[in-house]
Amino acid sequence: MHAWNQPILDSLIARSARLPHALLIHGPRGVGKAALAERIAHSLLCEGTGKKPCLACDACRWFLAGNHPDFRRVESEAVAKVPPPADSDEEAPTSKRATKQPSIEIKVDQVRELANFLYVRSHRGGVRLALVHPAEDMNENAANALLKGLEEPPAGAMFILVSHRPAQLLPTIRSRCVAVPVPIPAREAALQWLAAQGIKDAERWLAYAGGAPVRAVDYAADAPALSSLIKAPAPVEVREGLERLAEALQKIALDRALCAFGLPPKYQTGASAVAPEKAREWLAFARRMGEDRLLCRHPLNPRLFSAAMVNAMPSAGRQAAGSGASSG
């Protein structure tokens, strides 16, 4: 777990005997929410006498090995980085199975399987924990199935939901959880942690990540390709590149709008002087890219959709992108 989230963990563990049946850990992507949720679960399952996991008891060993009998983690195939299930038709061509993409949704069957876990006695006589990450990945049926468990929680069971965008959750789910906000850490603490990870150009990628250090590590790992994308946005061929393009365009637009208002850019996308009268145009484009980011997971034609995003840039932005591409 990351040091900047230690006070949140200490506060929760201090009242572990009075914790609610459901926590909603929410905040920006890349601030360590999943790691915090795992440490909460680990601390509650530990059979040692201290406030921190003892790392010596059977429960700790099982948890660290990923097979604690009283803990379940619910994620989509894409987040869990597991291959999609094989095609049920044994005679289906191998090429068809190989091209199937991992699901980006948490499905209803995954949530229903929790009933077989939550509504039985604990193996160790303690709490039974289900971690859902990120909760907004649940499709409609899965969300409704989880809601039933939240409305009538079984004795001794606890849900920990992690969310990057809690507004996308059903209001009835949010209302049945105690919210635990996880803020952006202090810049100095984030830079110190990034330096310990050996991240090059840490200040730039921390800025591009909006101050979220875990996200900054991901950006720094893909620095050459991301730098090219920021310099010269261009249509993409695959669905996996859509959201990254929409995000880059949105941050470029926000930086240029800030410059038009006479303010320093936030995301270090290379914005320079922008005419003040262009501020509203760039803000409108940034708003559109925010909406398009939400559509990027839908089954769209990636080339057509990404071309529409790039072509929607204000004219000065398209000219800059063209010159950047030609100079490269």
Choices 3.40.50.300, 2.60.40.420, 3.30.110.40, 3.40.50.2300: CATH for 3-181: 3.40.50.300
| CA separation for the pair 30, 159 (Å, rounded) | 21
Q: Which residues pair with 247 in a beta bridge?
A: none
Nearest to 23 by CA among 179, 236, 203: 179
Average pLDDT per run of 10 along the chain, which is 328 residues long?
Answer: 92 85 95 95 88 89 92 89 55 49 88 85 80 95 93 89 95 96 96 95 96 96 94 89 94 95 92 88 95 85 93 70 40
Give the span between the Cα atoms of 144 and 24, in whole angstroms: 16
Per this entry, what is the length of the chain? Answer: 328
Q: Is the dihedral of CA 208, 214, 215, 219 positive or negative?
A: positive
pLDDT of residue 325: 38
The structure tokens listed for 50 are: 């201290």
pLDDT score for 156:
86
**Sign of the C-alpha dihedral, residues 251, 256, 260, 262?**
positive
State the pLDDT at residue 98: 46
Residue that is written with structure tokens 């008891």 in the block? 57
| pLDDT for 85 | 57
Q: Look at residue 117 in the predicted model and tell me its pLDDT.
A: 86
Instruction: Quote the pTM value.
Output: 0.84
What's residue 221's pLDDT? Answer: 94
Q: Is the peptide bond before 84 cis (omega within 30 degrees of 0)?
A: no
* Residue 130, φ and ψ in degrees, nearest 5: -125, 125
3-state secondary structure the chain: CCHHHHHHHHHHHHCHHHCCCEEEEECCCCCCHHHHHHHHHHHHHCCCCCCCCCCCCHHHHHHHHCCCCCEEEECCHHHHCCCCCCCCCCCCCHHHHHHCCCCCCECHHHHHHHHHHHCCCCCCCCCEEEEECCHHHECHHHHHHHHHHHHCCCCCEEEEEEECCHHHCCHHHHHCCEEEECCCCCHHHHHHHHHHCCCCCHHHHHHHCCCCHHHHHHHHHCHHHHHHHHHCCCCCCCHHHHHHHHHHHHHHHHHHHHHHCCCCCCCCCCCCCCCHHHHHHHHHHHHHHHHHHHHCCCCCCHHHHHHHHHHCCCHHHHHHHHHHHHHC
